[in-house]
Structure 1
Amino acid sequence: MAHAFQASIASGAALGAACTIMHRGKTLVDLHGGWKDQSRNRVWEADDIALVYSLTKGLTGMAAAVAVSRGLFTYDERVADIWPEFAAHGKGAVSVGEALSEQAGLAAIDTRLTLENIGDEAAICAAIAEQKPNWAPGDHSGNHAYTLGWIASELIHRRDPAGRRLPQFFAEEIAGPIGADVFVGLPENFDRDRIARIEGFGMQDLFFHHTTMPWALTLKMCLPGTLAFRTLNNPLVLEGPGALDNEAFWRVGQGAAGGMASARGLAALYGAFAEGGDKLGVTPEVMANLSAGHPYPRKGLKDQVLTADMYYSYGFEKPFSEWEFARTRSAFGSFAVGGSLAFCDPEDGVAYAWITNTLGTGKWDDPREKTVREAFYACLENRS
């Protein structure tokens, strides 16, 4: 397993990376290597953090699970009962579970986002409430690349007795109790020398170094007016995800793409769920929902943004026939642009996190990550 991890560093496929895997509460794998930035003067240390893009969605799913467990709202409750303005343009019947499962049709919003206004959650949530859905809610799902975080944050804010939004709620109710180096909104006092900087890719790399990303998505991401373009290029038009790796974005606490985390921290949080959720006060009923998964969209699993099947569920992704990333279907987690993956499998007792600062151009099953995961499961099979 260590050899599989080291191979991507030695080959140059990953500037730096880290992987932590837990099984039934014990850390079995704890690897890190490579460099924190392109100068290759600073080595990646065990507790270093990096921008983890859509792994943040899993953190938001955790926050929602804790909120449901505390009785702030239920997955079956209508969003509009919590947030009345949300009912505009035929969205009144959308449930919390549907919204968190990326079925509400709010992947793209018409409001122009910038790094200057992206922290104004009140204004952005007002725009989301007024947005005409991209498809009939419940018919399909689609990658809510940024909006998922704001939707969850507004739900928490409106029902939390302290009025907290997602960044504060996550810090105080999830990361803090576990003692994990995972942040939705990086604190001012965090040591910036512990941040591994992102080596991104340009849009041309999607064509010249094409791997597992669907060609339909590659083309649509570059065609103004398509849903993929409107979703994935707002706020950054054709700049590539590496452009988000900056101080302003680290600090804003964007709940779908702005998380900062170490592999150890991610594994510790997923470990709490792999062990049943008791450490965070997650109820057995909520754990059962997360393990079973939200019902599929009425018209199937094809992601209206990514153009390929994907199973979104309560803020997470789950295994399905085309992507069995764990041994059992009880698993839930999230993958991110560039190849990172973090998840837990409560039935198997596994918590897994692999992150890198070198963004690949694939969809999921990044070969650098997949070789480590497969090596781990091969070892687990031999132990069983």
Structure 2
Amino acid sequence: MNQTQQSFGAVKGTTASGFESLGHLFEQQMRTLAEENAQLCVYHRGKKVVDLWASKNADPDFNADSLVNIFSSGKSLEAIAIASLVSKGLLRYDARVSDHWPEFKGGGKDQVTVADVMRHEAGLAGFDRSVDLDDLLPDNIKANSLGGTIEKQVQRFRSPATGKREYHAVTRGWIANELFRRVDPQGRTIGEFVKEEISAPLNADVAVGLNDRQLERVADIKLLSFGAHLRASLRPRIFGRKVFHNFVQLMARLLKVLPSLRKGNASEAPPPIRGMTGISFFNDIRMRRGETPSANAHSSARGLARVAAMMAAGGKLDTVECLNEDGWQALHQAPLPAKMGGVILTRFTQGGVDQFLPITKDSTLLEKAFNDGREGFYGWMGLGGSIFQWHPEAEIGFAFVPTSLHMLDFLNERGKLYQAEVLKCVANIEANQ
């Protein structure tokens, strides 16, 4: 496959024949939007076809191998970790968590299944106390510092009207990690599993909990403030609007989502981690060392796209098998439609990844924004921008990793532009074959 060296302003990297439009789009977005540093990487049929990165302010320390916090995109890494136990016959999604973790039973949690946890239906979206940063270090996790807190939690659901599904933004990863280490024959954490069975064999730069050498390659994330985002949305696109949505679009989304967020159990809980006051907290070295799989994984787009390529290919890339056929199929089975917090229709599989489907005439504005341009992908996305998804039918592994967080872009639509363009490129290639 021919690779074209890109030379679009600050953008560096390569695109394969048929995917050149991604380079032009990436350059346009980097030039126009409120971006700092970003990476975009795509695999098709097991081959890397897009490998782009850019630093708007010419940061000499940012490159294609820089590691960035991918926030909730890490949820798909933890889903793969749990699926590996299913792949090995050590765990079932319909098993009760308490079957493997007897102390989990209290507070109404005794009937919670593995699938409930992975679908955000465990009733544990927020805890009644904050945990310490030291509790998140692997040795302390193994000493049950975090597990002891989870065992004391009482199951809470919002209301019968909104259903069981409520986004476990941080807590799903903590629960999954405790389950994983109890079932894994070696007693490893998810971070240790990712290092030994995903990152190393696949040669993919992904990590949950960073070591000293990895810490040297981390790029800080930076929040685009609420006020700056709103002001930017007032400018028409033809005059260089620096955010994806205009003011009317942004308000329509805010008015739909904010009431649900205010009514959620997580909104009433204390901060998940003691001392956590804002997004910059995630730039703290101590935070980066700990394991919060659902909100604190670090990766490059190259690393994520390689893992996504493995998932798009059925659990195996080149000669490396991360999931066998049974485990891969189980992870993707039983997508259950339900509105997250009563607002956005999601289709989480029993393995904990969302299935994105074509929109229908009955789809709401948010559902169209969520799915349109992502049809056929599985996976999830991270707070403010990152996307880690795969498309088994089209054999696409996709990753977008920015350092500038647009928190009001709830559905990561600025990154979805690249997904939609990749689907067009693949369709054109297949049409001409």
**Structure 1: distance between partners of 2:258 and 2:131:** 22
More deviation, 267-276/281-290:
281-290
8 A Cα contact 2:133 2:290, kept in partner: no
Summarize the alignment of residues 279-298 of structure 1 with structure 2, pairs less than 5 Å apart.
279-296=320-337
- SS of the counterpart of 2:54? strand
How far is the alpha carbon of 1:286 from its aligned partner?
A: 2.4
Which structure has more strand as a fraction of its residues? 2
Query: Which residue of structure 2 lines up, in the alignment, with residue 142 of structure 1?
Result: 166
How many angstroms apart in 2 are the aligned matches of 1:327 and 1:54? 17
Whether contact under 8 Å (1:214, 1:307) holds in the other structure is no
Q: Confirm whether residue 126 of structure 1 aligns to residue 148 of structure 2.
A: yes
Residues 1:237 and 1:94: Cα distance change in structure 2 (over 3 Å): same
Which residue of 1 is the match for residue 213 of structure 2?
A: 189
* Correspondence for 1:45: 63
Q: Deviations over 1:149-201 (max 9, x none)?
A: 11111111112221111111221111121111110011122261x22211114
Matched with 2:404 is 358
1:216 Cα deviation from its structure 2 partner: 5.3
Tell which structure's C-alpha radius of gyration is larger.
2
User: Contact 2:385/2:401 (CA < 8 Å) preserved in 1?
Assistant: yes
Query: What per-residue deviation string (whole Å, max 9, x for no partner) do you get for residues 7-42 of structure 1?
Result: 22212521111111111101111111115xxx7542
Contact 1:21–1:30, Cα closer than 8 Å, also in 2: yes
> Using the alignment, how far apart are the partners of 2:126 and 2:25 within structure 1?
38
**Letter matched to residue 25 of structure 1:** G
**CA offsets per residue over residues 98-148 of structure 1, 9 Å max, x none?**
211111111101112343544443232222222111218994212111111
User: What pairs with 1:196-235 in structure 2 (closer than 5 Å)?
Assistant: 196-202=219-225, 212=250, 213-215=253-255, 217-218=257-258, 226-230=264-268, 233-235=271-273
1:368 is the counterpart of 2:414: yes
In 2, distance between residues paired with 1:14 and 1:293? 37
Does the 8 A contact of 2:311 with 2:392 survive in 1? yes
Change (3 A) 1:237 1:190: closer
1:208 deviates by 5.7
**TM-score normalized by the length of structure 1:** 0.87
Find out whether 1:343 has 2:343 as its counterpart. Answer: no
- Cα drift, residue 228 of structure 1: 4.3
Q: Does residue 383 of structure 1 match 2:404?
A: no
Give the direction of change, closer, same or farther, for the CA distance of 1:201–1:233 in structure 2 (3 Å limit).
Answer: farther
Stretch moving more, 206-215 or 3-12: 206-215
Give secondary structure in 2 for the equivalent of 1:315.
coil
Question: How has the CA–CA distance of structure 1 residues 91 and 191 changed in structure 2, closer, same or farther, with 3 Å as cutoff?
Answer: closer
| In 2, Cα distance between equivalents of 1:247 and 1:191 | 8
Shift of 1:383: 1.1
Among residues 77, 90, 105, which one is paired with 2:108 in the alignment?
90
1:50 deviates by 0.6
Q: Secondary structure at the match of 2:148?
A: helix
Distance apart, 1:56 and its partner CA: 0.8
1:225-304 equivalent positions in 2, closer than 5 A? 226-230=264-268, 233-235=271-273, 239-278=277-316, 279-296=320-337, 301-304=338-341
Q: Is the 8 A contact 2:70 2:386 kept in 1?
A: yes
Q: Any idea what SS the aligned residue of 1:161 has?
A: coil
1:174 matches 2:174? no
Task: Write the letter of the residue equivalent to 2:346.
Answer: M
Partner of 1:158 in structure 2?
182
> Corresponding residue for 1:317?
354
Contact (CA 8 Å) 2:374, 2:420: kept in 1 or not? no
Q: Given the superposition, is the C-alpha separation of residues 136 and 362 from structure 1 closer, same or farther in structure 2, using an over 3 Å criterion? A: closer
The amino acid across from 1:315 in the alignment is G
Q: Describe the shift of the 1:236–1:348 C-alpha distance in structure 2 as closer, same or farther (beyond 3 A).
A: farther
Structure 1 gaps of 5+ residues are none
**Separation (CA, whole Å) in 1 of partners of 2:303 and 2:27:** 21
Contact persistence 1:203–1:239 (CA under 8 A): no
Deviation of 1:289 after TM superposition, in Å, equals: 2.7
- State whether residues 391 and 397 of structure 2, in contact with CA within 8 Å, keep that contact through their aligned partners in structure 1: yes
Moved more, 67-76 or 282-291: 282-291
1:73 aligns with 2:91: yes
Indicate the SS of the match to 1:309: strand
Q: Which amino acid aligns with 1:176?
A: A
Which residue of 1 is the match for residue 236 of structure 2? Answer: none
User: 1:59 aligns to what?
Assistant: 77
| Deviation larger for 175-184 or 232-241 | 232-241
Give the alignment's Cα RMSD to 1 decimal.
2.8
Query: What secondary structure, in the 3-state scheme, does the structure 2 residue paired with 1:90 have?
Result: coil
Match of 1:7 in 2: 28
Contact 1:201–1:242, Cα closer than 8 Å, also in 2: no
Q: How many pairs are equivalent?
A: 372
Flag structure 2 segments of 5+ consecutive residues without an equivalent: 1-21, 234-244, 360-366
Other-structure match for 1:32: 53
Q: 2-side partners of 1:31 and 1:343: how far apart? A: 17
